[in-house]
Structure 1
Amino acid sequence: MPETMMPSSSPNGTSGTKPRLKVLLAGPRGFCAGVDRAIKIVEEALKRHGAPVYVRHEIVHNRFVVESLERQGAVFVEELSEIPDDGRPVVFSAHGVPKSVPEAAAQRKMFALDATCPLVSKVHREAERHYARGKHILLIGHEGHPEVIGTMGQLPPGAVTLVEDADQAETVIPPGDLPLAYTTQTTLSVDDTAGIVAILQRRFPEIAGPAKEDICYATTNRQAAVKAIAARGAELVIVVGAPNSSNSVRLAEVARRAGAARSLLVQRGAGLDPSVADGCATIGLTAGASAPEVLVDEVLARLSTRFTLEVEEVVVAEEKVVFRLPPALAAE
């Protein structure tokens, strides 16, 4: 809600009134259904089985979320080898894991709970179907990202070739004479990916694609919302999210390309210098799919120490997607 003007110290320390700042709040923003489900899996496992519950890799890319779950008794590890054979639950992160991980867990008779986002699992199944039909897979994504590692790990080595950008799409040489198919990471730039796909389709006219695009609804909606606030004159767009969160980094890129003079990625309000908005009449604010709304509230509170805020929500889509918990945690 808009705030009224009130006496305050000005930025230079003299008595005066805080300058007005319009904040366009992107909608949708923050948690998506896959992130919400993954966090609930860890929380429900802790509720039912007590601490510790082991989690392989960050459940989602957000330190606030990870630290909150740690306080409840979650123990985060990078590899299964760090987990003792004590029968405690182990959760696989929302980004998905190579097939070798659940196979190793099964060999050790671990109580494994898969928090992979169902939309990431959809990409896994698509890749498997294409491979079963004798196709070589071109995966559009970022090298080293956990989702890419997980998707490539669904198939034997050499079955997937990674394509990171338009330049690679122009030069990639698939092995042999196999027919081709492409899949994508779910958290990419919608526009960049469309350009890469167009190049691949021009070079390989017979390449098969997904029945429905792999970039998830949440990524698409959040990027559309950022474009909308940039079009409304936001001179600066602040994105709440982690630097290792692909969808958050993409939001900052999309904001600049959509017309914002600047974009800034911050993990939470405490790390924000409100003077970054000095001289701006209008800014935008959004959050990546793994950032909780409380962190957006923190940023608004931080900005309000320097400005009188007028907040307007710009909504481009309503999200009503809900994913069920695994059967082992379903309501009894």
Structure 2
Amino acid sequence: MINIYDLREFYSLTIDVILNRIYTNSSQIILSGIIDEKIQFGLNLSSLWVTSHHLERRLKAMASPPIIDNLISDNSYKVHDLESVLQCCNKILSYKEDVLLAHEIETVQLIKSQLSKSMTFVGDEKTAEFPPTRSDDMTFSEKKTFSANSNEELVSNNDSYIAFLYYVLVDVEISAMEICSHQILKNKNMPREFTLDFAKQIWDEARHAQYIYQLFIEKGGDLKSQSYTNNVIARYMQSNSLLESLVIQQILQEGNAVEINLSLIKELTILNRLPEANAFYNINNDEAYHVNIGNKWIGYLMEANEIQEEELLELMLNAADKIDIPLFGKGGWDSDIRALVGFPSWFIEVREQIYNH
């Protein structure tokens, strides 16, 4: 019979191994200049996040630390890399007929099946510097290369729509992957749940980027004929702290886009382009979750640093002024949506007080 506390340690150390793999993937997302590679490094996080998320839940469901001192520990469950994790999985699975270990057998089977997918990944341990790398084949522009007076005009004009899709691909989705990667690497002292939340977001953004890339090609897009702006990256780089960076990226840039995206989806629906409308709706649902992540960790930092609501509001107003984006957005406001994505009631009330006078 396996010592249950050895299993607890095995699960916890496995998460540490996963975190190191996430760090390596995050570095590669920033360092690579090739769009396809960035997307693939982001997609690689799927098995890592699925496994770690399951392990976190399993650890919470297991017993408290040992109350019996004379249980003999087996050091063979002390893992340090992916290979040793998989070796331990095989050892534990040899007990699969033991009814008392049914939960653990299911968990270990998941670890083995998911992490085996990561064995072929070869990462680079180089330090990732910001801003992120762009391929020499990519063209920089000071301004967006598409313009439209409305979302109706945007989705109806194929040339503008193609340029818009490229903007979403590089300046929204890829940039968000890079920013989340940078957040992970810069803040390893945060709770590991922080890293796992942002790994989930990177995976989401990579899936979005893959879809947008495919749609861009289907519509007749050519990568070499389009330009990127790096606006999202430039705004993020103006932050001076983790808290301010979360406000700039998760709240001002992503949070204020949720209602705007609904307008785009509506126009695609009117034109009966339902596959695209459904795809963007799925993407927007993920983005709403990312705003929730931002609000969650802003709340954590407020509590940890005893920051008052008035202080945070002042920081948010200053950040909005710094990057020239209105704090409450400019593409519509829905208080119910804002509450659903984690905005605190006091913030919603401040906005209502301002606009009701």
> Which has the bigger relative contact order, CA under 8 A and spacing at least 6?
1
TM bucket (normalised to shorter chain) is: under 0.3
> What TM-score comes out, normalization by structure 2 length?
0.24
Q: Name the structure where strand makes up a greater proportion of residues.
A: 1
Q: Name the structure where helix makes up a greater proportion of residues.
A: 2
> What TM-score comes out, normalization by structure 1 length?
0.25
